[in-house]
């Protein structure tokens, strides 16, 4: 016996039309928010960031590849990780196939991580991805765009992520329940995800996920937008589908895996 409310087709249609009105209002609000994103002031980027790419050493301008716009996904893969963050990997599964469409609409795309390029390339091959992936190893790029923090900042409460300051990490972390300290904006146990990257909670959470947008005009690069934490829900493709499934996200802890790990013990 189902425990969910049931009804006739007529009752379903009446309820669906009521929901449709709210969905349309959400769409209108989303359109307005998109316009407000585009109206944010641009901030000129004067620092000479350098990246290692499959095509060699590159500047931020090089990542545009002749286009006027650039979207960057800040992929959590620090130098101490043995594999990419499983959450970021799930998001990457979603954007991997759309890069060709972005590139043919004057928008370049790149994932950027702090791990050395060779390690990124091995993981990229394992996952079967084709999107451009650059290493910012040794660069200030991740720090300047608020997706990497130091041990000192983590310990002393100096992390400002997602536009607010976090409390210090509990010391010592060992022995505490996962619920006592979670990555801001995360829905799942951080310790479990950290273990999936071969790190501990402290190391794992010094890198953070994010999305940043840039524009190239008259030879100058400008930063136009960044989003973090739950602000990335819209680009996490599987959630858009689950939100339309009968049971929704229906989550109990970290259920997702890298796509080649399902079915393992």
Q: What is the pLDDT of residues 112-162, one digit of tens each?
A: 999 999 999 999 999 999 999 999 999 999 999 999 999 999 999 999 999
Residue pLDDT, tens place only, 19-54: 999 999 999 999 999 999 999 999 999 999 999 999
Spatial contact of 50 and 117, defined as CB atoms under 8 Å apart: no
Cβ neighbours of residue 251 closer than 8 Å, sequence gap 6 or more: 187, 188
Task: Record the pTM.
Answer: 0.91
Sign of the alpha-carbon dihedral angle for 111, 159, 188, 225? negative
157 and 167 Cβ atoms separated by less than 8 Å: yes
In 3D space, the residue among 47, 208, 51, 226 whose CA is nearest the CA of residue 134 turns out to be 51
Read off the pLDDT band of 182 (50, 70, 90): very low
- Hey, which residues does 43 pair with through a beta bridge? 223
Outline where DSSP puts E strands in the chain.
43-45, 50-53, 56-59, 69-74, 107-113, 133-135, 160-161, 164-165, 210-217, 220-228
Alpha carbon distance 196, 29 (integer Å): 37
Sign of CA dihedral 57, 63, 65, 66: negative
Q: Quick one: average pLDDT of 181-198?
A: 70
What is the pLDDT of the chain when averaged over all its residues?
A: 92
Confidence tier at 222 by pLDDT (50, 70, 90): very high
Handedness of CA 62, 68, 74, 77 (dihedral sign): negative
Yes or no: say if 53 and 61 are a contact pair by the CB < 8 Å rule.
Answer: no
Q: How confident is the model at residue 172 (pLDDT cuts 50, 70, 90)?
A: low
Closest listed residue to residue 75, CA positions, set 188, 189, 235, 217: 235
Select from 186, 214, 249 the least CA-distant residue to 67. 214
């Amino acid at each position: 016996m189902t425990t969910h409310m049931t009804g006739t087709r007529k009752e379903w249609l009446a309820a669906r039309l009521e929901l449709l009105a709210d969905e349309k209002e959400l769409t209108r609000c989303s359109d307005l928010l998109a316009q407000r994103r585009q109206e944010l002031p641009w901030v000129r980027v004067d620092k000479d960031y350098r990246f290692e790419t499959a095509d060699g050493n590159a500047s931020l301008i090089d990542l545009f590849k002749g286009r006027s716009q650039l979207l960057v996904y800040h992929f959590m893969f620090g130098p101490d990780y043995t594999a990419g963050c499983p959450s970021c990997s799930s998001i990457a599964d979603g954007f991997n196939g759309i890069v060709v469409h972005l590139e043919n609409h004057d928008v370049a795309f790149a994932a950027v991580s702090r791990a050395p390029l060779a390690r990124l390339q091995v993981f990229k091959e394992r996952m079967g991805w084709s999107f451009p992936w650059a290493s910012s190893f040794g660069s200030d790029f991740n720090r300047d765009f608020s997706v990497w923090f130091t041990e000192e900042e983590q310990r002393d409460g100096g992390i400002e992520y997602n536009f607010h300051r976090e409390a210090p990490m509990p010391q010592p972390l060992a022995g505490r329940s996962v619920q006592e300290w979670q990555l801001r904006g995360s829905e799942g146990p951080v310790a479990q995800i950290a273990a999936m990257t071969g790190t501990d909670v402290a190391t794992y959470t010094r890198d953070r996920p994010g999305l940043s947008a840039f524009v190239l005009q008259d030879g100058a690069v400008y930063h136009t937008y960044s989003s973090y934490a739950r602000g990335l829900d819209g680009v996490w493709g599987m959630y858009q589908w689950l939100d339309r499934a009968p049971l929704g996200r229906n989550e109990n802890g970290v259920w997702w895996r890298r796509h080649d790990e399902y079915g393992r013990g």
